[in-house]
Amino acid sequence: MAHIVTLDSRQETSLQAVAEKFIAQHEGDAVKALKEMIVLNGHLQERLDTMERRRVGG
């Protein structure tokens, strides 16, 4: 599912700060941080899918 998000400059600045902090937590390794974010997003998507199935009765 493709979803394009448009951010204003304030949101972009805030997101940049969070991203830099997340990368710093991974010793500056952006690839390592990205891999963890992908795993975390996968877990969240699984939970959302489970909640949706319960909601629709499937």
Read off the pLDDT of each residue in 4-29 and give the average, rounded to a whole number.
96
Categorise residue 3: left if φ over 0, alpha if ψ from -120 to 50, beta otherwise.
beta
pLDDT digits (tens, 9 = 90+) for 35-47: 999 999 999 999 9
Helix 9-24, helix 30-56: angle, nearest 10: 110
pTM for this one?
0.68
Would you state the pLDDT for residue 57?
A: 82
Q: Which of 24, 46, 44 is nearest to 33 (CA)?
A: 24
Spell out the domain ranges in the chain.
9-56
- Report the pLDDT value the prediction gives residue 3, as an integer from 0 to 100: 84
Percent of the chain with pLDDT over 90: 84
